[in-house]
Protein backbone atom coordinates (compact mmCIF):
# COMPACT_ATOMS: atom_id res chain seq x y z
CA UNK A 1 0.00 0.00 0.00
CA UNK A 2 3.02 2.24 -0.42
CA UNK A 3 1.28 4.50 -2.90
CA UNK A 4 -1.83 5.02 -0.77
CA UNK A 5 -2.74 8.32 0.79
CA UNK A 6 -4.43 8.43 4.15
CA UNK A 7 -5.98 11.65 5.39
CA UNK A 8 -6.27 11.83 9.17
CA UNK A 9 -8.81 14.22 10.66
CA UNK A 10 -8.58 13.87 14.47
CA UNK A 11 -11.14 16.60 15.26
CA UNK A 12 -12.06 17.51 18.84
CA UNK A 13 -12.20 16.22 22.39
CA UNK A 14 -10.93 12.65 22.66
CA UNK A 15 -10.51 12.50 18.84
CA UNK A 16 -6.84 13.55 18.87
CA UNK A 17 -6.19 11.39 21.97
CA UNK A 18 -7.38 8.16 20.37
CA UNK A 19 -5.92 9.07 16.95
CA UNK A 20 -2.47 9.24 18.55
CA UNK A 21 -2.76 5.51 19.28
CA UNK A 22 -3.47 4.77 15.62
CA UNK A 23 -0.35 6.79 14.74
CA UNK A 24 1.62 4.52 17.04
CA UNK A 25 0.31 1.48 15.20
CA UNK A 26 1.05 2.96 11.80
CA UNK A 27 4.60 3.70 12.92
CA UNK A 28 4.93 0.09 13.99
CA UNK A 29 3.62 -1.06 10.62
CA UNK A 30 6.12 1.21 8.87
CA UNK A 31 8.94 -0.39 10.83
CA UNK A 32 7.88 -4.00 10.93
CA UNK A 33 5.59 -4.75 8.03
CA UNK A 34 7.32 -2.39 5.59
CA UNK A 35 4.03 -0.92 4.50
CA UNK A 36 4.17 2.82 4.22
CA UNK A 37 1.24 5.08 3.52
CA UNK A 38 1.46 8.72 2.72
CA UNK A 39 -0.16 10.36 5.71
CA UNK A 40 -1.75 13.75 5.62
CA UNK A 41 -3.39 15.49 8.51
CA UNK A 42 -6.14 18.09 8.53
CA UNK A 43 -8.52 20.00 10.72
CA UNK A 44 -12.21 19.32 11.11
CA UNK A 45 -15.00 20.24 13.52
CA UNK A 46 -14.39 22.74 16.32
CA UNK A 47 -10.63 22.66 15.72
CA UNK A 48 -11.28 23.81 12.13
CA UNK A 49 -13.76 26.47 13.28
CA UNK A 50 -11.07 27.89 15.57
CA UNK A 51 -8.37 27.88 12.90
CA UNK A 52 -10.27 28.41 9.65
CA UNK A 53 -13.68 29.71 10.67
CA UNK A 54 -15.55 26.74 9.25
CA UNK A 55 -16.01 23.11 10.45
CA UNK A 56 -14.87 21.67 7.13
CA UNK A 57 -13.22 23.88 4.53
CA UNK A 58 -13.45 23.39 0.75
CA UNK A 59 -9.76 22.53 0.82
CA UNK A 60 -10.38 19.74 3.35
CA UNK A 61 -13.20 18.35 1.21
CA UNK A 62 -10.87 18.39 -1.80
CA UNK A 63 -8.11 16.61 0.14
CA UNK A 64 -10.62 14.02 1.37
CA UNK A 65 -11.73 13.38 -2.19
CA UNK A 66 -8.16 13.01 -3.37
CA UNK A 67 -7.13 10.65 -0.56
CA UNK A 68 -7.54 6.88 -0.82
CA UNK A 69 -9.19 6.88 2.59
CA UNK A 70 -10.04 9.25 5.42
CA UNK A 71 -9.62 8.33 9.07
CA UNK A 72 -11.89 10.55 11.10
CA UNK A 73 -11.82 11.10 14.87
CA UNK A 74 -14.79 12.92 16.37
CA UNK A 75 -16.15 16.44 16.41
CA UNK A 76 -18.08 18.72 18.73
CA UNK A 77 -17.99 19.98 22.29
CA UNK A 78 -19.37 22.62 24.65
CA UNK A 79 -16.82 25.17 23.44
CA UNK A 80 -18.75 25.49 20.16
CA UNK A 81 -22.29 25.35 21.56
CA UNK A 82 -22.84 29.02 20.80
CA UNK A 83 -21.90 28.64 17.12
CA UNK A 84 -24.70 29.39 14.68
CA UNK A 85 -26.41 26.16 13.67
CA UNK A 86 -25.00 26.44 10.11
CA UNK A 87 -21.49 26.41 11.50
CA UNK A 88 -21.61 23.71 14.15
CA UNK A 89 -18.65 21.28 14.40
CA UNK A 90 -20.97 18.35 13.61
CA UNK A 91 -21.44 19.77 10.12
CA UNK A 92 -17.84 18.78 9.45
CA UNK A 93 -18.67 15.08 9.33
CA UNK A 94 -22.05 15.64 7.69
CA UNK A 95 -20.47 17.65 4.87
CA UNK A 96 -17.81 15.02 4.25
CA UNK A 97 -20.39 12.23 4.10
CA UNK A 98 -22.58 14.24 1.74
CA UNK A 99 -19.92 15.63 -0.59
CA UNK A 100 -18.05 12.35 -0.92
CA UNK A 101 -21.33 10.52 -1.50
CA UNK A 102 -20.76 8.21 1.47
CA UNK A 103 -24.25 6.74 1.67
CA UNK A 104 -23.54 3.48 3.47
CA UNK A 105 -22.34 3.58 7.06
CA UNK A 106 -21.29 0.12 8.26
CA UNK A 107 -21.32 -0.24 12.02
CA UNK A 108 -20.32 -3.70 13.25
CA UNK A 109 -21.33 -4.51 16.82
CA UNK A 110 -19.26 -7.47 17.85
CA UNK A 111 -19.27 -8.73 21.41
CA UNK A 112 -15.72 -9.88 22.05
CA UNK A 113 -15.36 -12.85 24.36
CA UNK A 114 -13.23 -11.03 26.97
CA UNK A 115 -15.92 -8.34 27.23
CA UNK A 116 -18.97 -10.56 27.67
CA UNK A 117 -19.09 -9.59 31.34
CA UNK A 118 -18.47 -5.88 30.65
CA UNK A 119 -21.88 -5.54 29.02
CA UNK A 120 -24.75 -4.27 31.13
CA UNK A 121 -26.81 -7.19 29.82
CA UNK A 122 -26.60 -10.77 31.06
CA UNK A 123 -23.63 -12.73 29.63
CA UNK A 124 -25.94 -15.34 28.06
CA UNK A 125 -27.82 -12.63 26.18
CA UNK A 126 -24.76 -11.03 24.59
CA UNK A 127 -22.22 -13.84 24.21
CA UNK A 128 -21.47 -14.32 20.52
CA UNK A 129 -23.45 -11.30 19.31
CA UNK A 130 -22.21 -10.26 15.85
CA UNK A 131 -24.38 -7.62 14.21
CA UNK A 132 -23.70 -5.35 11.25
CA UNK A 133 -25.80 -2.19 11.32
CA UNK A 134 -26.00 -0.66 7.84
CA UNK A 135 -27.08 2.91 8.25
CA UNK A 136 -28.06 5.13 5.32
CA UNK A 137 -25.87 8.24 5.74
CA UNK A 138 -26.49 10.92 3.12
CA UNK A 139 -30.27 11.24 3.15
CA UNK A 140 -33.39 11.13 5.27
CA UNK A 141 -34.21 13.61 8.00
CA UNK A 142 -30.58 14.74 8.29
CA UNK A 143 -30.77 16.51 4.95
CA UNK A 144 -34.44 16.73 3.88
CA UNK A 145 -35.99 20.09 2.98
CA UNK A 146 -37.71 22.11 4.30
CA UNK A 147 -35.88 22.41 7.60
CA UNK A 148 -35.44 25.22 10.06
CA UNK A 149 -37.03 27.15 12.90
CA UNK A 150 -39.61 29.59 11.62
CA UNK A 151 -42.00 32.08 13.16
CA UNK A 152 -45.67 31.54 12.40
CA UNK A 153 -48.23 34.33 11.84
CA UNK A 154 -49.27 34.16 15.52
CA UNK A 155 -45.68 34.90 16.53
CA UNK A 156 -45.00 31.40 17.85
CA UNK A 157 -42.04 29.43 16.53
CA UNK A 158 -42.03 25.99 14.97
CA UNK A 159 -39.14 23.66 14.20
CA UNK A 160 -39.24 21.71 10.96
CA UNK A 161 -37.31 18.68 9.73
CA UNK A 162 -38.25 16.60 6.74
CA UNK A 163 -37.72 12.89 6.19
CA UNK A 164 -37.37 12.21 2.48
CA UNK A 165 -36.11 9.11 0.70
CA UNK A 166 -36.12 8.43 -3.01
CA UNK A 167 -36.33 4.85 -4.19
CA UNK A 168 -32.81 5.02 -5.60
CA UNK A 169 -31.43 6.13 -2.25
CA UNK A 170 -33.16 3.22 -0.54
CA UNK A 171 -32.15 0.72 -3.22
CA UNK A 172 -28.41 1.47 -3.19
CA UNK A 173 -28.01 1.16 0.57
CA UNK A 174 -30.27 -1.92 0.61
CA UNK A 175 -27.91 -3.60 -1.88
CA UNK A 176 -24.96 -2.90 0.42
CA UNK A 177 -26.89 -4.59 3.23
CA UNK A 178 -27.91 -7.58 1.12
CA UNK A 179 -24.36 -8.07 -0.18
CA UNK A 180 -23.05 -8.09 3.39
CA UNK A 181 -25.75 -10.49 4.56
CA UNK A 182 -24.77 -12.85 1.76
CA UNK A 183 -21.16 -12.92 2.99
CA UNK A 184 -22.28 -13.26 6.61
CA UNK A 185 -25.11 -15.45 7.92
CA UNK A 186 -27.60 -14.73 5.15
CA UNK A 187 -30.14 -12.68 7.08
CA UNK A 188 -31.15 -9.03 6.89
CA UNK A 189 -33.60 -7.17 9.11
CA UNK A 190 -34.81 -3.95 7.50
CA UNK A 191 -36.19 -1.43 9.97
CA UNK A 192 -38.55 1.52 9.47
CA UNK A 193 -41.91 2.68 10.72
CA UNK A 194 -44.00 1.77 7.69
CA UNK A 195 -47.00 1.84 10.02
CA UNK A 196 -46.81 5.63 10.45
CA UNK A 197 -44.33 7.10 7.97
CA UNK A 198 -44.68 7.47 4.19
CA UNK A 199 -40.92 7.25 3.71
CA UNK A 200 -41.09 4.07 5.80
CA UNK A 201 -43.76 2.60 3.53
CA UNK A 202 -41.57 3.22 0.50
CA UNK A 203 -38.52 1.88 2.35
CA UNK A 204 -40.29 -1.41 3.07
CA UNK A 205 -41.61 -1.72 -0.46
CA UNK A 206 -38.29 -1.03 -2.20
CA UNK A 207 -36.23 -3.27 0.07
CA UNK A 208 -38.79 -6.06 -0.45
CA UNK A 209 -38.70 -5.69 -4.24
CA UNK A 210 -34.90 -5.81 -4.39
CA UNK A 211 -34.82 -8.76 -2.05
CA UNK A 212 -37.24 -10.78 -4.18
CA UNK A 213 -35.64 -9.83 -7.49
CA UNK A 214 -31.93 -9.89 -6.69
CA UNK A 215 -31.35 -11.61 -3.35
CA UNK A 216 -33.82 -14.51 -3.03
CA UNK A 217 -31.09 -16.40 -1.12
CA UNK A 218 -31.02 -13.80 1.69
CA UNK A 219 -33.63 -14.15 4.41
CA UNK A 220 -35.27 -10.72 4.59
CA UNK A 221 -37.28 -9.63 7.58
CA UNK A 222 -39.06 -6.28 8.03
CA UNK A 223 -39.30 -4.91 11.56
CA UNK A 224 -40.60 -1.69 13.05
CA UNK A 225 -37.68 0.34 14.39
CA UNK A 226 -39.15 0.67 17.90
CA UNK A 227 -39.59 -3.07 18.16
CA UNK A 228 -36.02 -3.52 16.87
CA UNK A 229 -34.71 -1.36 19.74
CA UNK A 230 -36.49 -3.62 22.21
CA UNK A 231 -35.37 -6.84 20.46
CA UNK A 232 -31.76 -5.64 20.46
CA UNK A 233 -31.86 -5.55 24.26
CA UNK A 234 -33.84 -8.73 24.80
CA UNK A 235 -32.69 -11.11 22.03
CA UNK A 236 -29.77 -9.54 20.13
CA UNK A 237 -28.56 -12.87 18.74
CA UNK A 238 -31.43 -13.05 16.26
CA UNK A 239 -29.80 -10.26 14.22
CA UNK A 240 -27.24 -10.52 11.44
CA UNK A 241 -27.49 -7.38 9.26
CA UNK A 242 -29.76 -4.54 10.36
CA UNK A 243 -30.61 -2.00 7.64
CA UNK A 244 -32.02 1.39 8.60
CA UNK A 245 -32.39 5.06 7.72
CA UNK A 246 -29.93 7.74 8.75
CA UNK A 247 -31.76 8.47 12.01
CA UNK A 248 -32.84 4.96 12.97
CA UNK A 249 -29.40 3.61 12.10
CA UNK A 250 -27.80 6.25 14.33
CA UNK A 251 -29.97 5.35 17.31
CA UNK A 252 -29.78 1.60 16.88
CA UNK A 253 -25.99 1.59 16.46
CA UNK A 254 -25.49 3.42 19.77
CA UNK A 255 -27.80 0.86 21.34
CA UNK A 256 -25.89 -2.01 19.73
CA UNK A 257 -22.69 -0.46 21.08
CA UNK A 258 -23.99 -0.85 24.61
CA UNK A 259 -24.26 -4.61 24.05
CA UNK A 260 -20.53 -4.77 23.31
CA UNK A 261 -19.65 -3.15 26.62
CA UNK A 262 -18.98 0.44 25.52
CA UNK A 263 -19.37 2.99 22.77
CA UNK A 264 -15.58 3.13 23.01
CA UNK A 265 -15.41 -0.26 21.23
CA UNK A 266 -17.41 0.44 18.07
CA UNK A 267 -15.75 1.28 14.74
CA UNK A 268 -17.46 2.19 11.49
CA UNK A 269 -16.85 2.57 7.78
CA UNK A 270 -18.77 5.06 5.67
CA UNK A 271 -18.59 4.06 2.03
CA UNK A 272 -19.51 5.59 -1.30
CA UNK A 273 -20.35 3.89 -4.57
CA UNK A 274 -17.69 1.93 -6.44
CA UNK A 275 -16.63 3.90 -9.52
CA UNK A 276 -17.30 1.80 -12.60
CA UNK A 277 -14.11 2.77 -14.43
CA UNK A 278 -11.50 3.10 -11.65
CA UNK A 279 -12.99 0.49 -9.30
CA UNK A 280 -12.29 2.95 -6.49
CA UNK A 281 -14.71 4.23 -3.88
CA UNK A 282 -14.55 7.14 -1.46
CA UNK A 283 -14.46 6.02 2.15
CA UNK A 284 -14.28 7.55 5.59
CA UNK A 285 -13.66 5.58 8.77
CA UNK A 286 -14.99 6.90 12.06
CA UNK A 287 -15.68 5.49 15.49
CA UNK A 288 -19.38 5.45 16.41
CA UNK A 289 -18.67 7.52 19.51
CA UNK A 290 -18.33 11.30 19.69
CA UNK A 291 -15.80 13.66 21.23
CA UNK A 292 -16.77 12.65 24.80
CA UNK A 293 -16.30 16.10 26.39
CA UNK A 294 -16.91 14.59 29.85
CA UNK A 295 -13.62 12.67 29.70
CA UNK A 296 -11.61 14.68 27.14
CA UNK A 297 -8.13 15.72 28.27
CA UNK A 298 -7.96 13.08 31.00
CA UNK A 299 -6.12 10.44 29.00
CA UNK A 300 -8.68 7.77 29.87
CA UNK A 301 -10.60 7.38 26.58
CA UNK A 302 -10.80 3.92 25.09
CA UNK A 303 -8.80 3.95 21.83
CA UNK A 304 -10.22 0.61 20.60
CA UNK A 305 -13.03 2.07 18.45
CA UNK A 306 -10.53 4.30 16.64
CA UNK A 307 -7.99 1.49 16.25
CA UNK A 308 -10.68 -0.89 14.97
CA UNK A 309 -11.86 1.81 12.54
CA UNK A 310 -8.32 1.84 11.19
CA UNK A 311 -8.54 -1.96 10.84
CA UNK A 312 -11.72 -1.51 8.78
CA UNK A 313 -9.83 1.01 6.64
CA UNK A 314 -7.04 -1.47 5.97
CA UNK A 315 -9.63 -4.08 4.97
CA UNK A 316 -12.03 -2.01 2.90
CA UNK A 317 -9.82 0.65 1.32
CA UNK A 318 -6.29 -0.76 1.21
CA UNK A 319 -7.09 -4.44 0.59
CA UNK A 320 -4.92 -5.41 3.57
CA UNK A 321 -7.13 -8.12 5.04
CA UNK A 322 -4.28 -9.89 6.80
CA UNK A 323 -3.13 -6.75 8.62
CA UNK A 324 -6.72 -5.81 9.47
CA UNK A 325 -7.35 -9.22 11.03
CA UNK A 326 -4.00 -9.04 12.86
CA UNK A 327 -4.95 -5.73 14.42
CA UNK A 328 -8.38 -7.03 15.47
CA UNK A 329 -6.78 -10.09 17.03
CA UNK A 330 -4.29 -7.88 18.89
CA UNK A 331 -7.10 -5.79 20.40
CA UNK A 332 -9.00 -8.87 21.52
CA UNK A 333 -5.85 -10.39 23.04
CA UNK A 334 -5.04 -7.25 25.00
CA UNK A 335 -8.57 -7.27 26.44
CA UNK A 336 -8.23 -11.00 27.10
CA UNK A 337 -5.07 -10.23 29.04
CA UNK A 338 -7.08 -8.12 31.46
CA UNK A 339 -6.27 -4.53 30.50
CA UNK A 340 -9.27 -2.21 30.71
CA UNK A 341 -9.94 1.46 30.11
CA UNK A 342 -12.45 2.95 32.55
CA UNK A 343 -15.48 2.50 30.28
CA UNK A 344 -15.06 -1.30 30.16
CA UNK A 345 -13.54 -1.73 33.62
CA UNK A 346 -14.41 -4.94 35.46
CA UNK A 347 -13.43 -6.17 38.90
CA UNK A 348 -10.12 -7.99 38.94
CA UNK A 349 -8.87 -6.30 35.79
CA UNK A 350 -6.12 -3.70 35.41
CA UNK A 351 -7.35 -0.17 34.79
CA UNK A 352 -5.23 1.70 32.25
CA UNK A 353 -5.33 4.92 30.24
CA UNK A 354 -5.47 5.57 26.51
CA UNK A 355 -1.69 5.45 25.94
CA UNK A 356 -1.06 2.22 27.86
CA UNK A 357 -3.92 0.55 25.99
CA UNK A 358 -2.56 1.65 22.61
CA UNK A 359 0.96 0.60 23.51
CA UNK A 360 -0.30 -2.81 24.65
CA UNK A 361 -1.96 -3.31 21.26
CA UNK A 362 1.32 -2.50 19.57
CA UNK A 363 3.22 -4.94 21.82
CA UNK A 364 0.65 -7.61 21.01
CA UNK A 365 1.19 -6.99 17.28
CA UNK A 366 4.87 -7.47 17.96
CA UNK A 367 4.21 -10.82 19.66
CA UNK A 368 1.78 -12.03 17.01
CA UNK A 369 4.29 -11.39 14.24
CA UNK A 370 7.45 -12.48 16.07
P1 LIG B 1 -20.24 10.72 22.98
O2 LIG B 1 -20.23 9.51 22.11
O3 LIG B 1 -19.17 11.70 22.78
O4 LIG B 1 -20.22 10.25 24.51
C5 LIG B 1 -21.26 9.48 25.10
C6 LIG B 1 -20.72 8.80 26.38
O7 LIG B 1 -19.85 7.73 26.00
C8 LIG B 1 -19.91 9.72 27.27
O9 LIG B 1 -20.15 9.41 28.61
C10 LIG B 1 -18.48 9.40 26.91
O11 LIG B 1 -17.54 9.63 27.93
C12 LIG B 1 -18.56 7.93 26.55
N13 LIG B 1 -17.56 7.57 25.54
C14 LIG B 1 -17.63 7.86 24.21
N15 LIG B 1 -16.52 7.45 23.59
C16 LIG B 1 -15.74 6.88 24.53
C17 LIG B 1 -14.45 6.28 24.49
N18 LIG B 1 -13.76 6.14 23.36
N19 LIG B 1 -13.94 5.83 25.66
C20 LIG B 1 -14.61 5.93 26.80
N21 LIG B 1 -15.84 6.49 26.91
C22 LIG B 1 -16.39 6.97 25.78
O23 LIG B 1 -21.68 11.39 22.79
P24 LIG B 1 -22.27 12.78 23.35
O25 LIG B 1 -21.72 13.04 24.71
O26 LIG B 1 -23.70 12.72 23.15
O27 LIG B 1 -21.69 13.87 22.36
C28 LIG B 1 -20.55 14.67 22.62
C29 LIG B 1 -20.20 15.47 21.39
O30 LIG B 1 -19.76 14.61 20.34
C31 LIG B 1 -21.36 16.26 20.81
O32 LIG B 1 -20.87 17.48 20.34
C33 LIG B 1 -21.85 15.38 19.66
O34 LIG B 1 -22.52 16.09 18.66
C35 LIG B 1 -20.54 14.83 19.17
N36 LIG B 1 -20.62 13.57 18.43
C37 LIG B 1 -19.76 13.45 17.38
C38 LIG B 1 -19.69 12.27 16.68
C39 LIG B 1 -18.72 12.17 15.55
O40 LIG B 1 -17.86 13.02 15.42
N41 LIG B 1 -18.79 11.16 14.70
C42 LIG B 1 -20.47 11.18 17.06
C43 LIG B 1 -21.34 11.33 18.16
C44 LIG B 1 -21.39 12.53 18.84
C1 LIG C 1 -22.59 9.75 14.56
C2 LIG C 1 -22.92 11.10 15.14
C3 LIG C 1 -23.23 12.11 14.05
C4 LIG C 1 -24.52 11.64 13.39
C5 LIG C 1 -23.33 13.56 14.45
C6 LIG C 1 -22.14 14.04 15.20
C7 LIG C 1 -23.53 14.41 13.23
O8 LIG C 1 -23.93 11.00 16.08
O9 LIG C 1 -21.70 9.67 13.71
O10 LIG C 1 -23.21 8.76 14.95
O11 LIG C 1 -25.62 11.86 13.92
O12 LIG C 1 -24.44 11.05 12.32
MN1 LIG D 1 -24.44 8.89 16.57
Indicate whether residue 320 lines ligand 2 (CB < 6 A): no
Backbone phi, then psi, for 95, in 5-degree steps? -65, -45
Straight-line distance from the first to the last Cα atom of the chain, in angstroms, rounded to the nearest whole number = 22
Catalytic member of 68, 240, 250, 343: 250
Mean pLDDT of all residues in 317-323: 93
Query: What CATH number labels 108-271?
Result: 3.40.718.10
Give the C-alpha distances (Å, rounded to integers) separating 237 from 14, 242, 249, 261: 31, 12, 18, 15
Consult the annotation and say whether 254 binds a ligand: yes
Question: Which residues are paired to 149 by β-bridges?
Answer: 159
* Active site (annotated) includes residue 367: no
**Nearest CA among 306, 329, 350 for reference residue 9:** 306
Give 233-279 pLDDT, tens digit per residue. Answer: 999 999 999 999 999 999 999 999 999 999 999 999 999 999 999 88
Give 104-133 pLDDT, tens digit per residue. Answer: 999 999 999 999 999 999 999 999 999 999
* Active site (annotated) includes residue 179: no
The burial class, CB within 10 Å (0-12 / 13-18 / 19+), for 55 is: buried
Consult the annotation and say whether 296 binds a ligand: yes
The angle subtended at Cα 262 by Cα 332 and Cα 359, nearest 5°, is 45
Indicate whether residue 208 lines ligand 1 (CB < 6 A): no
Could you give the residue range(s) of every CATH 3.40.718.10 domain in the chain?
A: 1-103+277-370, 108-271
Consult the annotation and say whether 272 binds a ligand: no
234: three-class secondary structure by DSSP: helix
* Active site (annotated) includes residue 333: no
Indicate whether residue 94 lines ligand 2 (CB < 6 A): yes
Mutation probe of ligand 1 site: the residue of 22, 291, 303 with most atoms within 8 A of C-beta: 291
Dist. CA 369–CA 365, nearest whole Å? 6
**Nearest CA among 305, 363, 354 for reference residue 334:** 363
The reported pLDDT for the residue numbered 233 is: 96
163: three-class secondary structure by DSSP: coil
The burial class, CB within 10 Å (0-12 / 13-18 / 19+), for 126 is: buried
Mutation probe of ligand 1 site: the residue of 289, 300, 343 with most atoms within 8 A of C-beta: 289
| Least distant ligand from the CA of 9 | 1
Pairing of strands 283-285, 69-74: parallel
Give 159-210 pLDDT, tens digit per residue. Answer: 999 999 999 999 999 999 999 999 999 999 999 999 999 999 999 999 999 9
Whether the per-residue pLDDT at 2 is higher than 70: the answer is no
Indicate whether residue 69 lines ligand 1 (CB < 6 A): no
Indicate whether residue 328 lines ligand 2 (CB < 6 A): no
Q: Which CATH class is domain 1-103+277-370?
A: alpha beta
Give 345-370 pLDDT, tens digit per residue. Answer: 999 999 999 999 999 999 999 999 99
Contacts 24+ apart (CB under 8 A), 76-84: 76/12, 76/13, 76/45, 76/46, 76/290, 76/291, 76/293, 77/12, 77/13, 77/46, 77/291, 77/293, 77/296, 78/293, 79/46, 80/45, 80/46, 80/49, 83/49
User: DSSP secondary-structure letter at 343?
Assistant: G
The reported pLDDT for the residue numbered 30 is: 87
Amino acid sequence: AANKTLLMLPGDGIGPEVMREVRRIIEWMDRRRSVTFRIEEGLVGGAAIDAEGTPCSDATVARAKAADAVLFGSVGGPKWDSQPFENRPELGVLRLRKELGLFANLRPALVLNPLVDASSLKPDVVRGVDIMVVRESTGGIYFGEPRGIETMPDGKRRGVDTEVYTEDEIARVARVGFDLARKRRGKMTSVEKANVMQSGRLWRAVVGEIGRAEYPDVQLEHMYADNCAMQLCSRPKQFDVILGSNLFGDLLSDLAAALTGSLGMLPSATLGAVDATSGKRHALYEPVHGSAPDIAGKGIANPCAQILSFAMLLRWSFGMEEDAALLETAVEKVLGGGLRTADIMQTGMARVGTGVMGEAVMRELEKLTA
